[in-house]
Amino acid sequence: MLELVFLIPLFAGIMATFLPVKLGRIILVITALLHVQLTGMCWLKISAPMFDAYFRATPEGTLVLLVTSFIFLFISIYSVSYMRETEMENEHVFIGCMLFFLAAMSMVTLADHLIVLWIAIEATTLVSAPLIFVHRSKEALEATWKYVLICSVGIALALLGSFFITLSMDIGQVDVPLAFSALQAVAANLDPVWLKAGFVFVVIGYGTKMGLAPMHTWLPDAHSESPSPASALLSGALLNCAFLGVYKTHTLLYAAGLGTYSSNVLIVFGLVSMSVAAVFIMNQTDYKRMLAYSSIENMGIIAFGIAIGGLGTYGAMLHLIHHSLIKSSLFLSSGNILLGYGTKLIKNTGNMAKLLPKTFLAFFAGFAGISGFPPFGIFISELLIIIGAFRSGRFVSIGIFIFCLILIFAGAARLVMRMSFAQHDEDILVQEKMLRILPSYALLLTSAILCVWLPESLYQTIINAITAIGGGLNG
Amino acid sequence: MIQLSDAILSLVLLSVLLSLSSNRLMGLVRIMAFQGILVSLVPLFLDQHQGIGAGSILFLQIMILIKGILIPGFMYIAVNKVKIRTEVEPFVGYHASLFTGLAFIVISAYITERLNISLPGGHALLLITAITTMASGLFLLMARRKAITQVIGYLMMENGIYLVGAALAKESHTQYVVEFGVLLDLLVGVMIMGIVLHNINSAFDDVDTALLGRLKD
């Protein structure tokens, strides 16, 4: 039964909310392990969906599910150690919401019905709001308010977009279930005008959640104010889920022969996101906000890569995997830095190389990875996207793309250098612990391994996911 | 029964205009309850000719319960509990808001006129109401200072989108499980907003969104 992938975290979350905190922590890790196992079963196609009108294991969905499940495992291990060091008033709520969040995201990855997908994405907003809110500071309140309101309004527009797609079915006299897989087959009969209108609203709606500029304004606040394990989940898993909504609709348009139109929309949003990130990362004073803007940049890269098609699409899918791995590792390291220095301001940190050597290694390696240096996977994915864009002859776009990458690298490098090597005389508040270091290392190591060796089944799934929009290694 | 559905839709339009000119929070919450019930009733009078099944009756009751009673009730508690000053405190004045609302009606009538070429006919007033409600919701969201009015604006926008769904989608797509999920999301969303609102009030002693300016670049 495929639905267990999200039902089990749901029940575990309910249990963890009411049980004592110590038991809750154990439930968190056990559920994470169980979830990996269930994902494996879904991956091997052993489990079939029970409600097949609403849920289906698509290649792109299982890919995102695998990434989510994998990073959740490490984040849950990290959280247990992190929660011991910080004083949280409502820790059982935090644990419960982490599990609900996992459930909602798993539901997104499996949803096939248009409206069920919408329900699941809205549910991710609602269950992750308490995660941001958990410290109850004035800043956290503001961040939560912006997050809930901006995302809810944005996602409401996606619902409108879904209704437009329904209308395009009615006008085209198409009578199939309102599911992506069913619509895919009959896409050519859909009414093109309303399909295009629907796509724009869906991109604005789910794009808000994905962090595409100019709808990104909630993202830096939410990522910087939530506790680090939650930031890692938001950046590494949630953004991918929202992307899935955009991707599925893009596939639909491609099948309807409107691929050029939807690609152009995505390229514009992608490049605007990258430019906005490049501008705001320059004079950033807060290292978690810096990482958040980097997430906006990477979501822009993924949208761009998907849109150019061919090799670029393959690169974008690789980028999705590696961005999740590296960025969640970076946010986990930033949690250690926050514990160590007690501040999020870059100017109050420094000399990390001496004071927090293990965290420094993870943070610096992660920074190298996210900037596109080998041996980490983003090196390959960005290279493939650039080659793909050259092949499709989009020279102006590729110019902007590379320029933004350089700006962001230059801006972030200055800040990271300052954090790592500048003078700092005060002592460290909380020392490093292995449990809070190893998850970051493991995530980075996975990215490095996947860079040189991609398992056959993973490769095949990526190819299956992207052939629907004309992507492939030879495209 | 066309006339009855038109009467309900006119009442929805009236509630939109009332909410734009309302200067009391309590009044605004009452208008939202009224609008929620009206919007839930719309499908009943649209599909008279297709017959009403047991499922749709049950769903109608749930919808009235959530949109007309639970959500406004929750807002009512929030307004009472936070003990805020009861004025709405607009950025844009009441007369200007009202005028904008009227302008929205004219614009949506124009849009509907233009769209009718490719629309299944007979839904002209429904679509006008839907677009006006949506636009006014967005306007309310931006033009009022209190955080609680932003929630009301969001709800109004959601009502408008629901009307668009009712206007555009054929009956055959209606699956109550799915619609119930959407409603549940809405309900939980408003509850979470209410909780955050309560906390904002106790942290800042007010729910003015101008106070929320600590995080910026």
Structure token pair of residue A174: 């198409």
Give the pLDDT of residue A104.
96
Give the pLDDT of residue B185.
87
Helices (H) and strands (E) in chain A, counts: 20, 0
Give the pLDDT of residue B2.
58
Choose from B82, B112, B139, B173 for mutation: most chain A CBs within 10 A. B173
CA distance A32 to A2: 16
DSSP state of A237: I
Write the CB contacts of B118 (distance below 8 Å, at least 6 apart in sequence).
Answer: A171, A191, A193, A194
Give the pLDDT of residue A324.
96
Predicted TM-score (pTM) of the model is: 0.95
Q: Mean pLDDT, to the nearest integer, of A46-57? A: 88
B89 touches B145 (CB < 8 A): yes
Give the pLDDT of residue A306.
94
DSSP state of A48: -
Write the CB contacts of A284 (distance below 8 Å, at least 6 apart in sequence).
Answer: A290, A293, A346, A411, A415, B217
Write out pLDDT tens, residues B191-203: 888 888 888 888 8
The rounded percent of chain A whose pLDDT value lies above 90 is 80
Helices (H) and strands (E) in chain B, counts: 8, 0
The 3-state DSSP class for residue A310 equals: strand
Contact residues, chain A, for B188 at CB < 8 Å: 126
Give the pLDDT of residue A89.
79
Contact residues, chain A, for B158 at CB < 8 Å: 156
Write the CB contacts of A288 (distance below 8 Å, at least 6 apart in sequence).
Answer: A223, A224, A228, A231, A331, A334, A338, A344
Write out pLDDT tens, residues A112-162: 999 999 999 999 999 999 999 888 888 999 999 999 999 999 999 999 999
Q: Please state, rounded to an integer, the average pLDDT across all residues of chain A.
A: 93
- Which of B164, B189, B197 is closest, CB to CB, to A126? B189
CA distance A102 to A98: 6
CA distance B146 to B143: 9
Q: Which of residues 175 through 214 in chain A touch B, CB cutoff 8 A?
A: 175, 178, 191, 193-194
Question: Could you state, in chain order, the average pLDDT of each consecutive group of 10 residues for chain B (217 residues)?
Answer: 78 94 88 93 70 76 91 87 70 89 93 71 79 93 85 92 80 73 87 86 78 76
CA distance A144 to A142: 5
Give the chain A residue nearest B203 (alpha carbons): A138
Strand partners, A111: A55
Give the pLDDT of residue B120.
56
Here the ipTM equals 0.92
Give the pLDDT of residue B51.
58
Write out pLDDT tens, residues A246-271: 999 999 999 999 999 999 999 999 99
Q: Is A424 exposed, middle or buried (0-12, 13-18, 19+ CB in 10 A)?
A: middle
Give the pLDDT of residue B48.
53
A84 touches chain B (CB under 8 A): no
Nearest residue to B193 via CA among A215, A122, A115, A206: A122
Contact residues, chain A, for B118 at CB < 8 Å: 171, 191, 193-194
Contact residues, chain B, for A276 at CB < 8 Å: none
Write out pLDDT tens, residues B4-13: 888 889 999 9
Residue A364's pLDDT band (boundaries 50, 70, 90)? very high
Question: Which of A229-233, A245-249, A377-381, B52-56 is predicted least confidently?
Answer: B52-56
CA distance A29 to A100: 14
* Whether the bond into A229 is cis, omega within 30 of 0: no
Q: Do B165 and A116 touch (CB under 8 A)?
A: no
B165 touches B43 (CB < 8 A): no
Write out the DSSP string of A419-470: HHHS---SPPSS---HHHHHHHHHHHHHHHHHHH---HHHHHHHHHHHHTTT
Nearest residue to A298 via CA among A409, A433, A161: A409
End-to-end alpha-carbon separation of chain B, Å? Answer: 56
Write out the DSSP string of B89-140: -BSS-HHHHHHHHHHHHHHHHHHHHHHGGGS-SS-HHHHHHHHHHHHHHHHH
Residue A197's pLDDT band (boundaries 50, 70, 90)? very high
> Phi first, then psi: what are they for A287, rounded to 5°?
-75, -25
Give the pLDDT of residue B118.
57
Domain boundaries, chain B: 2-211
Q: Do B189 and A113 touch (CB under 8 A)?
A: no
Give the pLDDT of residue A72.
96
Give the pLDDT of residue B50.
58
Residue A34's pLDDT band (boundaries 50, 70, 90)? very high
B58 touches chain A (CB under 8 A): no
A116 touches chain B (CB under 8 A): yes
Give the pLDDT of residue B116.
66
Give the pLDDT of residue B170.
64
Give the pLDDT of residue A115.
92
Residue A26, amino acid: I
Choose from B164, B168, B176, B187 for mutation: most chain A CBs within 10 A. B168
- Which of B138, B178, B215 is closest, CB to CB, to A139? B215
Structure token pair of residue A305: 């890569």
Residue A170's pLDDT band (boundaries 50, 70, 90)? confident
Give the chain B residue nearest A192 (alpha carbons): B118
Give me the total of CB pairs closer than 8 Å, taking one residue from chain A and one from chain B.
Answer: 114
Give the pLDDT of residue A23.
92
DSSP state of A213: T
Nearest residue to A109 via CA among A149, A162, A58, A154: A58
Residue A361: its H or E element: helix A357-370
